[in-house]
Structure 1
């Protein structure tokens, strides 16, 4: 009778022994896996947020009231302001630049080459309704158009400024400040009227 009982308890003893072993003994790879797994791996299971909001409006210093303008109005304002920049930068190069300073504007892309300082590139970005700037002094930046007032927006006047998505600074202000700094370095005259936009 005793031998039958011992035989019947055999599987229970095996289970009891297995439960009393350390986890590493049951799963030899578990401790090695724990060492290889970074402490922050749980972050991958956190919910992710996706947004269709343009990058410009996600930045802390971005203009909060920037409206979404139509593609036609964007083209009108961007073309007007890029032409203004081009005209005033031509004056800048002709009057104050050396022979190798030049500006070119074609198909929505403006290049201002100022050796030895580098090249400014401004270009329209119609899909984003933005103007992008690449400056040899301050780096890349993106700008969205901000009307001067809601009334002007409703009337279709569209006076306003191109405001940086990075820090809220104005496109005209950045370019003009940097170019005036270059003029001081080359000891150019101080009579330049600027880029012609805010």
Structure 2
């Protein structure tokens, strides 16, 4: 009988965690209370922002962006005294910026099937950027509305005070 009770409890727990809004129990010392938590709506849609984007335009803007970032990171490393052991490589649509053991490695790469640029940051983690063709074209993370260059500006300026990604191609900082 106890096994049946446990199985039923597990099924109810699984079912309860699957519904939205979910009800979470919080126990006080003398008082039992219930709180309702609802899922918040994101500010930006999870759907592709520009599904009809021409693949040729995407490739052109993507290559210009990655090449511009490659050149800028090379200049930045040459100018920064605390980045002497850093290295930048760009090959087959993958930009790797190894800033050393103290700062980690950034990987920025083209994702042609999704029409996105993916960023792997040692500070903020993985992000997927979509191309917006307004204002000459820029890359935006749909979940928080922050552009690729703005995030790089925020993170790299903590490492090198002379970081300025406004000069890069397709930058919206």
Q: Name the residue aligned to 1:113.
A: 98
Q: 1:176 aligns with which of 143, 147, 153?
A: 153
The 8 Å contact of residues 153 and 164 in structure 2, kept in 1 or not, is answered as no
**Which structure: greater helix fraction?**
1
> What is the correspondence of 1:39-50 to structure 2 with a 5 Å cutoff?
39-40=12-13
Confirm whether residue 75 of structure 1 aligns to residue 59 of structure 2: yes
In structure 1, C-alpha distance between the alignment counterparts of 2:95 and 2:77, rounded to whole Å: 14
Change over 3 Å in CA distance of 1:105–1:45 after alignment to 2: closer
**Which structure: greater strand fraction?**
2
> CA shift at 1:165, angstroms?
2.5
RMSD of aligned alpha carbons: 2.7
Query: RCO greater where, 1 or 2, for CA within 8 Å and sep 6 or more?
Result: 1
Count of aligned pairs between the two proteins = 142
> CA shift at 1:36, angstroms?
1.4
Confirm whether residue 160 of structure 1 aligns to residue 137 of structure 2: yes
Q: Name the residue aligned to 2:69.
A: 85
In structure 2, C-alpha distance between the alignment counterparts of 1:137 and 1:41, rounded to whole Å: 34
The 8 Å contact of residues 120 and 135 in structure 1, kept in 2 or not, is answered as yes
Gaps of 5+ in 2: 20-40
Q: Name the residue aligned to 2:31.
A: none
Gaps of 5+ in 1: 1-28, 47-58, 150-158, 185-189
The 8 Å contact of residues 110 and 116 in structure 2, kept in 1 or not, is answered as yes
> CA shift at 1:44, angstroms?
10
Could you list the structure 1 runs, at least 4 aligned residues long, displaced by more than 6 angstroms after superposition: 43-46
Confirm whether residue 35 of structure 1 aligns to residue 6 of structure 2: yes
Q: Name the residue aligned to 2:129.
A: 143
The 8 Å contact of residues 61 and 137 in structure 2, kept in 1 or not, is answered as no
TM-score normalized with structure 1 length: 0.62
Q: Name the residue aligned to 1:101.
A: 86
